Amino acid sequence: DSTIVLSWIRGDPRRWKPFVANRVQEIHIRTEPSQWRHCPTADNPADKLSRGCALDTLREDKLWWNGPAWLKEPIEQWPRLTMALSPEETRLVSPERKRVVTLCASLQEPSLLAIIDPSRYGTMERLVRITAYCCRFLANARTHAGERKIGARLSLQELQDAEKRWVRAIQADAFPVSKTVSGPISVRAGDPLAALSPFVDTEGLLRVGGRLSRTALPWCHRHPLLLPRNGPVVELIVRRIHESELHAGLNQTLAALRRRFWVVRGRQAVKRLIRACIICRKHDARPFCPLMSDLPPERVTPSFPFNRVGLDFAGPLHVKDEHRPAQKAYICLFTCMVTR
């Protein structure tokens, strides 16, 4: 006769706390919620014992021995319950209701910088190859077994696509401009990019405009890719150009870099890399000049000429003239140690 328990049974078990939810779920496994009905308190024989009853009264009680009279009637005539809980019953049901927290979040495509850490790799080639293998794995996971590339060497197209992915990722992180369609982009006045006339190509990459669009130069030379001046990927790109130019100086490295990439404040970026290059620091280091010791007394004490003599000996030297074959010759130089 408990309307509270009946509401638990007719409800979703996931709405209740674990103690009630586990038992309601067990009831749903063994029975159907529609099989459970409400018995009014006046027709409940179990109340005779739970509320106390004399033995003489219980012996003559028809409800105790025969049950409710409406059980003998058709099901259509059984009492129906309208599920309207009283304030007291509502107060008892609420503590058993499980609190549900709804979180609404918008899914965004994760950046490549959040998946692969470029600072863990020392060369741009290694970073590009690892990225290409990751892209191949994703492509194989989406294709049938017979069409997968397994064991084959990386193709030039795969390496180029991996490099473009990194360029696209660092451009999206450094230049938050709208790149929904290809073509020129609007840049506010005073922005450092305004003088470069940037535009978006058909692959979604940001390139430098300029006045060389009608020249016979390759496309990448006429419109180099736009890159920020900082970042681990930019440092790897500048280092690759610097090493491919055999550790050239500032101007030559910058000129080679601008054949494909236009780094904002590229001169400072190249200068910073050359200063940190170990090989360049070794070649540009000043020679070590040790301190000379004091002159011996024989060199500084006045005396007669050639009283103290220094001897320099050199040879052999191969000397040849027209009439004789080459012969060995030696040089012995005597100098005064005081006046030399």
φ, ψ at 305 (rounded to 5°) = -60, 140
| Ranges of H-type helices in 71-123 | 87-93, 112-115
Can you give the pLDDT at residue 21?
85
Which range has the worst mean pLDDT, 40-54, 221-235, 253-267? 40-54
Q: What is the pLDDT of residue 107?
A: 57
pLDDT digits (tens, 9 = 90+) for 70-108: 777 787 767 777 665 566 655 655 565 666 666 666 556
pLDDT digits (tens, 9 = 90+) for 287-340: 888 888 888 888 888 888 888 898 999 989 999 888 888 889 999 999 998 887
CA distances from 95 to 40, 90, 102, 274, 283 (A): 25, 9, 19, 69, 78
pLDDT in tens, 141-188: 988 888 888 878 999 999 999 999 999 999 998 887 655 567 777 777
Confidence at 41, pLDDT banded by 50, 70, 90:
confident
Q: What pLDDT sits at residue 95?
A: 60
DSSP conformational letter for 245: T
> Residue 260's pLDDT band (boundaries 50, 70, 90)?
very high
Give me the phi and psi of 278, to 5 degrees please: -70, -40
Domain assignments of the chain as residue spans, ordered by start? 3-96, 112-144+154-283, 297-336
What whole-number distance in Å separates Cα of residue 92 and Cα of residue 83?
15
Look over the chain and give the mean of its residue pLDDT values, rounded to a whole number: 84
What is the pLDDT at residue 235? 96
pLDDT the model gives residue 65: 74
Residue-wise pLDDT for 231-246, tens only, equals 999 999 999 999 999 9
Count CB atoms within 10 A of the CB of residue 171.
22
Euclidean distance between CA atoms 209 and 206, whole angstroms: 10
